[in-house]
């Protein structure tokens, strides 16, 4: 019976050890079981397709565009905090400034923003998940790794180096506390290698994923390519020693680069209708 329904599903037929008295009844039962399984599988596929279509819909894209705009605002607030508070002259002053209410608010907002960015990139890659599921999946996984690393680093920075250590140093000015901050900064510097590579790989996959030939998709391609160039030049500067994008120029241009990336992303998310996605 199985061979008649689907020859490719049958690998080998073995003789039964015992005689089956009611072969038509058994066949009817098997047929009902197979039909039920196919119906269930078809229902699951249809529901998964409906969920995927809903997740590429207008409401989700508008929510992601809102996250992009909110992230620009948070980065603008961070820029303001850095300008108002300024740079510390000593490690001890840096530890104290980290506990400033504005810095606490900045770090809290940036930590929350990382969760938003994971959602944002998920929505972006979902737009082509039906057409290129493997490429979209790996692209999102790269940004998911970026999000996990950022959330971990920013959580430790906020709770440990901005809340707990400054309070401990205020009680007793132990130089070992400053050494702990230095250790965290060294670990943070090292972890930005896989973090930067995750963004680099995810951006390259994103540019490839949206090579659709459509005019609107060239917007998201351009910002992903821009992201690739920014990360390549900065990583080569910091970790290889090639002065392609020095710290002074990078810090000066950072907020402008944020607007140049997430502004077009928000525009693309709002304008990319289901018709354009076909």
pLDDT at 245: 96
Asked whether residue 142 is assigned to any structural domain, the reply reads yes
The residue among 165 and 47 whose pLDDT is bigger is 165
Q: Among 1-10, 143-152, 169-178, 218-227, which is the least confidently predicted range?
A: 1-10
Asked whether residue 276 is assigned to any structural domain, the reply reads no
Asked whether residue 253 is assigned to any structural domain, the reply reads no
Asked whether residue 74 is assigned to any structural domain, the reply reads yes
Q: What is the pLDDT of residues 227-270, one digit of tens each?
A: 999 999 999 999 999 999 999 999 999 999 999 999 999 999 99
The residue among 154 and 26 whose pLDDT is bigger is 154
Asked whether residue 194 is assigned to any structural domain, the reply reads yes
Q: What is the pLDDT of residues 35-89, one digit of tens each?
A: 665 555 445 434 544 444 554 588 999 999 999 999 999 999 999 999 999 999 9
pLDDT at 57: 83
pLDDT at 204: 98
Mean of pLDDT values over 91-97: 96
Of the chain, the percentage scoring pLDDT greater than 90 comes to 77
Separation between Cα atoms, residue 96 and residue 167, nearest integer Å? 9
- CB-side neighbour CA atoms (13 Å) of 136: 17
The answer to whether the beta carbons of residues 258 and 71 sit under 8 Å apart is: yes
Q: Among 8-22, 196-210, 233-247, which is the least confidently predicted range?
A: 8-22
Q: What is the pLDDT of residues 171-191, one digit of tens each?
A: 999 999 999 999 999 999 999
Q: Look at the chain and report how many structural domains it folds into.
A: 1
What is the 3 state secondary structure string of 147-189? Answer: HHHHHHHHHHHHHHHHHHHHHHHHHCCCHHHHHHHHHHHHHHH
- Please enumerate in sequence order all residues whose Cβ is within 8 A of that of 192, keeping only pairs 6 or more positions apart, or say none: 238
The answer to whether the beta carbons of residues 84 and 162 sit under 8 Å apart is: no
Separation between Cα atoms, residue 146 and residue 8, nearest integer Å? 43
Q: pLDDT grade, residue 29 (50/70/90)?
A: low
pLDDT at 216: 95
Tokens of 86: 């300024």
pLDDT at 21: 57
Report CA-CA distances (Å) from 275 to 46, 59, 85, 182, 214. 20, 15, 48, 53, 12
The answer to whether the beta carbons of residues 52 and 126 sit under 8 Å apart is: yes
Summary mean pLDDT of the chain = 87
Tokens of 75: 């980065």
Q: Which domain holds residue 77?
A: 59-247
Mean of pLDDT values over 1-24: 52
The SS3 assignment for 13 reads coil
Asked whether residue 46 is assigned to any structural domain, the reply reads no
The answer to whether the beta carbons of residues 239 and 193 sit under 8 Å apart is: yes
Report CA-CA distances (Å) from 103 to 120, 158, 180, 269. 25, 9, 19, 31
pLDDT surpassing 90 at residue 34:
no
Asked whether residue 271 is assigned to any structural domain, the reply reads no
Asked whether residue 189 is assigned to any structural domain, the reply reads yes
The answer to whether the beta carbons of residues 30 and 1 sit under 8 Å apart is: yes
């Amino acid at each position: 019976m199985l061979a008649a329904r689907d020859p490719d599903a049958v690998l080998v037929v073995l003789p039964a050890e015992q005689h089956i008295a009611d072969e038509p009844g058994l066949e009817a039962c098997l047929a009902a079981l197979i039909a039920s399984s196919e119906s269930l599988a078809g229902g699951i596929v249809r529901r998964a397709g409906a969920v995927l279509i809903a997740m590429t819909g207008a409401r989700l894209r508008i929510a992601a565009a809102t996250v992009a705009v909110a992230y620009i605002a948070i980065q603008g607030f961070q820029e303001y905090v850095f300008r108002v508070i300024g740079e510390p002259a000593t490690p001890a002053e840096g530890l104290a400034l980290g506990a400033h209410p504005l810095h606490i608010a900045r770090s809290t907002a940036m930590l929350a923003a990382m969760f938003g960015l994971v959602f944002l990139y998920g929505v972006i890659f979902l737009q082509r998940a039906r057409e290129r599921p493997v490429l979209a999946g790996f692209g999102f996984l790269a940004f998911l790794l970026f999000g996990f690393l950022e959330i971990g680093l920013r959580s430790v920075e906020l709770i440990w180096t901005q809340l707990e250590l400054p309070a401990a140093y205020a009680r007793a000015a132990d130089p070992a506390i400053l050494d702990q901050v230095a250790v965290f900064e060294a670990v943070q510097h090292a972890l930005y290698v896989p973090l930067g590579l995750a963004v680099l790989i995810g951006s390259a996959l994103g540019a490839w994923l949206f090579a659709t030939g459509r005019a609107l998709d060239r917007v998201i391609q351009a910002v992903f390519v821009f992201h690739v160039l920014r990360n390549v030049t900065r990583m080569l500067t910091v970790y290889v020693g090639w002065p392609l994008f020095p710290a002074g120029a990078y810090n000066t241009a950072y907020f402008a680069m944020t607007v140049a990336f997430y502004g077009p992303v928000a525009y693309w998310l709002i304008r990319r209708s289901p018709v354009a996605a076909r």
